[in-house]
Amino acid sequence: MDFGLTDEQQQLKEEVRRFADNEVRPNAREYDVEEKFPHEIVDAAAEMGLCGATIPMEYGGAGYNAVDSVLIAEELFAADPGIALSILATSFGTEAIVDYGTDEQKERFLEPVARGEAISGAAISEPDTGSDVSSVSTRAKKDGDEWVINGNKMWITNGTVGDFFVVFCKTNPEVEGRYNGFSQIVVESDRDGFESEKITGKMGIRASDTAELILDDVRVPEENLIGAADAGFLQQMNFFDATRTGVAAQGVGIAKGAAERALEYAQEREQFGRPIGDFQAIQHKLAEMYTNTEAARNLTLKSAWEVDEGGAPNTTLASMAKEYASRVAVEVANEALQIHGGAGYVNDFDVERLYRDAKITQIYEGTTEIQKMIIARELQGKGF
């Protein structure tokens, strides 16, 4: 196995880091405090091809592979997770269209996202449904050549700024089997009966837009169905396999950003007449932070590498990467704040924000507990 990056990947990593240093980091506190979506920064990122980065080139995307996307996420999240998520999630949900959509759907939905002219979203969770995806209550009924959709979706990224959403819903409640009868349907946000309400007061990733969606007799044409009817659950599980490696990369980025800031502070902050980085207690913290971050990075890159080599995510490895990298993000951010002491408890320093942002990586795209269940089931050959 080759552990080195290609020249193109190294250049990509450096270009994204420069963008993050120039556009993201200087504005991070403002967007966090005001809980506002960074439209101007997202537009600038779109010009660089960072929005819809994995959308195939034939539909206007950059066509980056899984390893490339991990490198992009790490650099952006090291700068600021809230703005980073706003950039990378502009194409959230389009994975289903890439994998299962018709040519017409790909042209209609992927191309505007790739150009930075549209924002997508994935509407899965509901007020009473999180980890148990098979318990969604949103229903879609066929009426002539239209689908009529009713239900509520909760914690939806891009909820008030998105132009369309891939909605996971029940289309055949009569079919037997816990995982049967689900479909994914594209719903445009300008449809009658579609409403969204922004969720504020989040602990972290405040620049990223999160909302509740209300679908009240929303009608969409039958051609908005993605793939075959009632095949949505397997589509959704494949979606999670892919996005969990992405969340692992987010965790690596947060850990990297927190560790770098802690090292810088330890070299500048003096106590007892010398930099605190001279003290063994701080040195041990830094050593563990960087070691664990590197371990998380390699596990995440291996998960992405398997996608590029094999053409599909490795379910076990994706969950391992997500569980471990998210745990490292939380632990490293905690230690980084500890190194900053009282100064890290206020937002004069970035570690306060990274500390708050890190926790979400253990929750969305499947909680830590769910990842451990998946890993154990896969090891025993039981699947979902």
**What amino acid positions are annotated as catalytic residues?**
365
What does the angle CA 325 – CA 348 – CA 287 come to, to the nearest 5 degrees?
40
Contact of 242 with 313, CB cutoff 8 Å: yes
Identity of the residue numbered 269: R
Structure tokens at 369: 């507990």
DSSP 319-343: HHHHHHHHHHHHHHHHHHHHHHGGG
Contact of 192 with 220, CB cutoff 8 Å: no
d(CA 359, CA 17): 23
Q: Residue 272, class by beta-carbon neighbours within 10 Å (0-12 exposed, 13-18 middle, 19+ buried)? A: exposed
What does the angle CA 178 – CA 157 – CA 211 come to, to the nearest 5 degrees?
95
d(CA 70, CA 56): 16
Identity of the residue numbered 163: D
Spatial CB neighbours of 87, under 8 Å, sequence gap ≥ 6: 38, 41, 42, 45, 50, 51, 76
Of the candidates 97, 91, 96, which has an alpha carbon nearest to the alpha carbon of residue 118?
Answer: 91
DSSP bridge pairs for 184: 168, 226
Contact of 248 with 325, CB cutoff 8 Å: yes
d(CA 119, CA 158): 7
- Within the chain, strands assigned E span 120-123, 139-143, 146-157, 164-170, 182-188, 194-198, 210-221, 225-226, 270-271, 274-275
Secondary structure letter of residue 58 according to DSSP: G
Other CB atoms within 10 Å distance of the CB of residue 134: 15
d(CA 150, CA 137): 9
Q: Coil, strand or helix: which one is 186? A: strand
